[in-house]
Chains A and B, each alone.
Chain A
Amino acid sequence: MANFFLDNRDIRFLFDHVNMAELARIQELDAENGQADYAPTDEADTVDNYRRVLEIVGQVAGDVIAPNAEQVDEEGNTLNDNGTVTYHPLVQQNLDTMGQADLMGFTLPRKYGGLNCPNLVYTMATEIVSRADASFMNMFGLQGIAETVNAFANDEIKDEVLPRFASGEVTGAMVLTEPDAGSDLQAVRLRAEQNGDGNWVLNGVKRFITNGCGEILLTLARSEPDIADGRGLSLFISERDETIRVRHLEEKHGIHGSPTCELVYDNTPARLVGERQRGLITYVLALMNGARVGIAAQSLGIAEAAYRLGRTYAHTRQQFGVPIEKMPAVAEMVTNMQVDIEAARALAYHTSWICDHENNNLRVLEGGRRELGDEEKKQRKQLSRGYKRLNSMLTPMSKYYCSEMCIEVANAAVQVLGGSGYIKDYAAQRYLRDSRITTIYEGTSQLQVVAAIRGVTSGTFEQFAGELEQKSYDDPALAELKEKLVAAKQIILETIQFVKTQSSAYVDLHARRLVDSAIAVIVGHLLLDQATACDRKKVVARRFITSRLPEIKKNCEIVRSGDAMPIDEYELLAGPVPSLD
């Protein structure tokens, strides 16, 4: 009878530490309150609802999903001859249970049967589910599809589709990737054509589609054959039928419970979502932003599971007459795992918090439920620009930082378990296999860095760090740590000035080091803020900041070295292209 929310000290701490009441207020402002008999009455009631929902998520994760995970990993899903997929019975059981618990319309408005929870609570829930089974997160975490429909589709589509998502009757897929269009989605070729009566049909092939066997497919397709780039793409919604065949289920390294499909569209009827030509440049970018925070949460969940196993093992495993955690090298691995998770969680949750502010502000601004005065409109527009700018830096940072952390922590867990970590008797190997995808899908780490570096070099980082520095600390130890972060920021800013004199290739080459350094400063501030509410967090903040400061210095020194050998001397350093025969 485990509850993955109630047994997680840090998530519960953060739930209390963030200003959840403020979040509840903006989430419920102008929401369709009172139309459902389960609508909250005030802020405290709303926050209580969030907590209760997370308790349900924690219980389902601990009692149902986690016990199923090993068998799901072993056996996977099944591709049928007729081009359909049958979920593993335990995956189906997980889905059914989530539907029964009303958890499949997590962020949808109540008028569609959703829970109207903010993004932050959804991020917490996603982490909790991922700790139980990372692969099941790919079903639970696909609620961004419903959100995209809610944000951009017309009322007819919304009324038809969203209640079915919320009840758990259907699952969806975001169908973007093609054999020749992975990171570069502008190259999508799948054709969307209007037949005589004006209805759209889709033809072509999609690949690496998570849950491509789902009932509702959001497909990115080329509706303008004459426009070769992203502006020729539109987003379509279709219902699964015999015109869509799953041709192949990928055999993957991890997340075996998540069916990764190759899809063939053969005159598939589809409806346009939103406006033509905005498919990639507006809708998919919005969808991807949400999905990236989702992967950050998934990464946290996998890391949390791996840490718990490693921590317990280090405590119970005896060698040389003592628990192995008494050995300094093991102690460092175990403490790093925990501190790294808390650091990444601070960033991901703060990002979700900003997302909530951005989304709710936009909803009030554009929702049209209330006539806004000129002053409020102006103020909200200004806020909107600020949130958008900040988010376009923090979201890729979170995805990048959490997923890289996840692999490191899962890897460390295997190392702590030693030989036991390498065999199937323990889940450590599964966590490591599951972790490996997180830096790849929804945009690789390298692409996240490309997205984040813009914010780092364009002043967003400087401004945001400046805001974080406004907080003053009574505790002299914390105040001193803050001053160190302020000094570190100065070094980073000087380094940014240097790279601005260099070529764009040079910036690309060193972007990761700058992004790493900026993240360390931001996370350092977030942990200091947490430390004001919890004595243990003071130690966590001190450990994090003192171990990162030298890395920031090192990174900046490398960036300022002017060295570009991986580009300049590529052929020599990489050596001749070997034959793989």
Chain B
Amino acid sequence: MSARKRGLTDLRKPDNLRSFNLLHSNVPEPTPVPYDSIVCVKQVPDTANVTAEAMKDDGTVNRAQLPAIFNPEDLHALETALAVRDVHGGTVTALSMGPPKAAEVLRECLFRGADRAILLTDRRAAASDTLATSYILSQAIRTIGRYDLVFCGRQAIDGDTAQVGPQIAEKLDIPQITYLERVVDLTGDVIQVRRNIGQGWEIVEARLPVLLTVIDTANRPRPCAARRVMRCKRARVVAELAAEVRAEMPDATDEQRQAEVDRRGQLLQERSLLIEQWDLDRIGADLDRCGIAGSPTKVHRVQAIVLTKEGFTEVAPTEDGIRQLIHELVVDRTWG
């Protein structure tokens, strides 16, 4: 009767209160308990379409030369959260840290079904490594307050570290399940998850709240919904409004511009289209743990590798030929 336990532990939510009351008046099992999810999403350079200009001379990524996309595995994290909501009810909040432009991925979260979106943007957070990033995101999650599930993509395609999700869980002091392939069961405050372990899978169980990192075989992300796109395409963070106003009113004074930003923000707010914009102060972050100051990771050396073609290998289109090819790919670690 974990549902009962859940109802007892959290009576702030009206639905839980209802189920609590129902259970104590000997009424049959009520409808499923809703769950509140937070999904961490990241806008990343499209590393699948890298051109020669993708790297700057100092070895850092030249973001201007790469189209920015929704980190692929984060889409699967979002889908997992939305699927939980489809079955159990509740809410899905999308959270992203990045420059104002990262509001693009938050809009896409709204297009696909998220209820709420928060952009954490602050110049003081620039150049954060995984340690600082996970600290900032964990502070943001604490600020959101109420949550049952936190979803992250397994890793981002720009850094490929797969560290941020697990570090957030540690900082929040909640259990984590990585490499989620499928939610097997979610009842009361217990979740069962099938996780991929490379050569196979295992099913593990955890108590909520829990952080889960999701891999791309977990599901097929739902498409953007046309009606949501029509409604939410105007959603903006304040920083975007400010940039728009700067472009449209080049000759206005700062006060006039601010008044216009406030006016537009108010209009969006009334239609629930203002994406929340938080800074480090809003989440009570310790500035020593953010940005460069909070990032012990230093790039030691960058090696530029030029790939050259060394000729062709003919493979016979037979069972044996293919077997031999696979063997060679495994041996030189191209595959497997």
Chain B 209-237 residues near chain A, CB threshold 8 A = 220, 222-231, 233
- Which residue of A is nearest B112, CB measured? A100
Chain A 368-405 residues near chain B, CB threshold 8 A = none
Residues of B within 8 A of A37 (CB): 231, 271
Residues of B within 8 A of A101 (CB): 222-226
Residues of A within 8 A of B229 (CB): 49, 52-53, 56
What separation, in Å, do the CA atoms of A40 and B226 have in the docked complex? 12
Query: Chain B nearest CB: distance from A479 CB in Å?
Result: 42
* A52 B230 Cβ-Cβ under 8 A: yes
* B228 A102 Cβ-Cβ under 8 A: yes
What separation, in Å, do the CA atoms of A67 and B95 have in the docked complex? 32
Residues of B within 8 A of A115 (CB): 226-227, 230
What separation, in Å, do the CA atoms of A53 and B229 have in the docked complex? 8
Query: Chain B nearest CB: distance from A461 CB in Å?
Result: 38
- Which residue of B is nearest A103, CB measured? B226
The answer to the question of A413 belonging to the interface, with a C-beta cut-off of 8 Å to chain B, is no
* B230 A40 Cβ-Cβ under 8 A: yes
What separation, in Å, do the CA atoms of A60 and B225 have in the docked complex? 11
Residues of B within 8 A of A40 (CB): 230
A36, A38, A52, A56 — most chain B CB neighbours (10 Å): A38
* A38 B231 Cβ-Cβ under 8 A: yes
Residues of B within 8 A of A97 (CB): 220, 222-223
The answer to the question of A59 belonging to the interface, with a C-beta cut-off of 8 Å to chain B, is yes
What separation, in Å, do the CA atoms of A290 and B159 have in the docked complex? 51
Seen from chain B, the residues whose Cβ lies within 8 Å of a Cβ on chain A are 220, 222-231, 233, 271
Seen from chain A, the residues whose Cβ lies within 8 Å of a Cβ on chain B are 36-40, 48-49, 52-53, 56, 59-60, 64, 93, 97, 100-103, 113, 115
The residue that B223 contacts in the complex, of A39, A49, A59, with Cβ under 8 A, is A59
The residue that A56 contacts in the complex, of B220, B226, B231, B271, with Cβ under 8 A, is B226
What separation, in Å, do the CA atoms of A98 and B303 have in the docked complex? 46
What separation, in Å, do the CA atoms of A100 and B220 have in the docked complex? 12
Residues of B within 8 A of A38 (CB): 227-228, 230-231
What separation, in Å, do the CA atoms of A113 and B229 have in the docked complex? 14
* A56 B223 Cβ-Cβ under 8 A: yes
What separation, in Å, do the CA atoms of A198 and B231 have in the docked complex? 45
* A102 B271 Cβ-Cβ under 8 A: no
The residue that A52 contacts in the complex, of B220, B222, B226, with Cβ under 8 A, is B226
What separation, in Å, do the CA atoms of A471 and B227 have in the docked complex? 39
Residues of A within 8 A of B222 (CB): 97, 100-101
Residues of B within 8 A of A49 (CB): 229-230
- Which residue of B is nearest A96, CB measured? B222
* A113 B226 Cβ-Cβ under 8 A: no
Query: Chain B nearest CB: distance from A2 CB in Å?
Result: 13
* A113 B225 Cβ-Cβ under 8 A: no
Query: Chain B nearest CB: distance from A432 CB in Å?
Result: 26
What would 16 more interface pairs be, CB under 8 Å, given A64-B223, A101-B223? A37-B231, A37-B271, A38-B228, A48-B233, A49-B230, A52-B229, A53-B229, A56-B226, A59-B223, A60-B223, A64-B220, A101-B222, A102-B225, A102-B227, A115-B227, A115-B230
What separation, in Å, do the CA atoms of A37 and B235 have in the docked complex? 13
Query: Chain A nearest CB: distance from B238 CB in Å?
Result: 21
Query: Chain B nearest CB: distance from A51 CB in Å?
Result: 10
* A100 B223 Cβ-Cβ under 8 A: yes
What separation, in Å, do the CA atoms of A215 and B222 have in the docked complex? 24
* B231 A102 Cβ-Cβ under 8 A: no
What separation, in Å, do the CA atoms of A52 and B229 have in the docked complex? 8
Query: Chain A nearest CB: distance from B24 CB in Å?
Result: 37
Query: Chain B nearest CB: distance from A65 CB in Å?
Result: 11
Residues of A within 8 A of B227 (CB): 36, 38, 102, 113, 115
B225, B231, B271 — most chain A CB neighbours (10 Å): B225
A–B Cβ pairs within 8 angstroms, 29 of them:
A37-B231, A37-B271, A38-B227, A38-B228, A40-B230, A48-B233, A49-B229, A49-B230, A52-B226, A52-B229, A52-B230, A53-B229, A56-B224, A56-B226, A56-B229, A59-B223, A64-B220, A93-B220, A97-B220, A97-B222, A97-B223, A100-B225, A101-B223, A101-B225, A102-B225, A102-B228, A103-B226, A113-B227, A115-B226
Query: Chain A nearest CB: distance from B76 CB in Å?
Result: 14
What separation, in Å, do the CA atoms of A56 and B233 have in the docked complex? 13
What separation, in Å, do the CA atoms of A95 and B114 have in the docked complex? 22
Query: Chain B nearest CB: distance from A464 CB in Å?
Result: 34
Residues of A within 8 A of B225 (CB): 100-102
Query: Chain A nearest CB: distance from B112 CB in Å?
Result: 9
What separation, in Å, do the CA atoms of A277 and B158 have in the docked complex? 66
B220, B225, B230, B231 — most chain A CB neighbours (10 Å): B230
- Which residue of A is nearest B69, CB measured? A1
What separation, in Å, do the CA atoms of A40 and B234 have in the docked complex? 11
What separation, in Å, do the CA atoms of A48 and B226 have in the docked complex? 12
Query: Chain A nearest CB: distance from B20 CB in Å?
Result: 33
What separation, in Å, do the CA atoms of A93 and B224 have in the docked complex? 15
Residues of B within 8 A of A52 (CB): 226, 229-230, 233
* A53 B226 Cβ-Cβ under 8 A: yes
Residues of A within 8 A of B233 (CB): 48, 52
Closest 4 CB pairs of A and B: A38-B230, A102-B226, A38-B231, A101-B223
Query: Chain A nearest CB: distance from B329 CB in Å?
Result: 23
Query: Chain A nearest CB: distance from B103 CB in Å?
Result: 17
- Which residue of A is nearest B273, CB measured? A37
Residues of A within 8 A of B223 (CB): 56, 59-60, 64, 97, 100-101
Query: Chain A nearest CB: distance from B198 CB in Å?
Result: 26
What separation, in Å, do the CA atoms of A39 and B231 have in the docked complex? 7
B226, B227, B231, B233 — most chain A CB neighbours (10 Å): B226
- Which residue of B is nearest A113, CB measured? B227
Query: Chain B nearest CB: distance from A267 CB in Å?
Result: 38
Residues of B within 8 A of A53 (CB): 226, 229
- Which residue of A is nearest B113, CB measured? A100
What separation, in Å, do the CA atoms of A38 and B273 have in the docked complex? 12
Query: Chain B nearest CB: distance from A198 CB in Å?
Result: 39
Query: Chain B nearest CB: distance from A342 CB in Å?
Result: 28
Query: Chain A nearest CB: distance from B222 CB in Å?
Result: 5
Residues of B within 8 A of A100 (CB): 222-223, 225
What separation, in Å, do the CA atoms of A53 and B226 have in the docked complex? 6
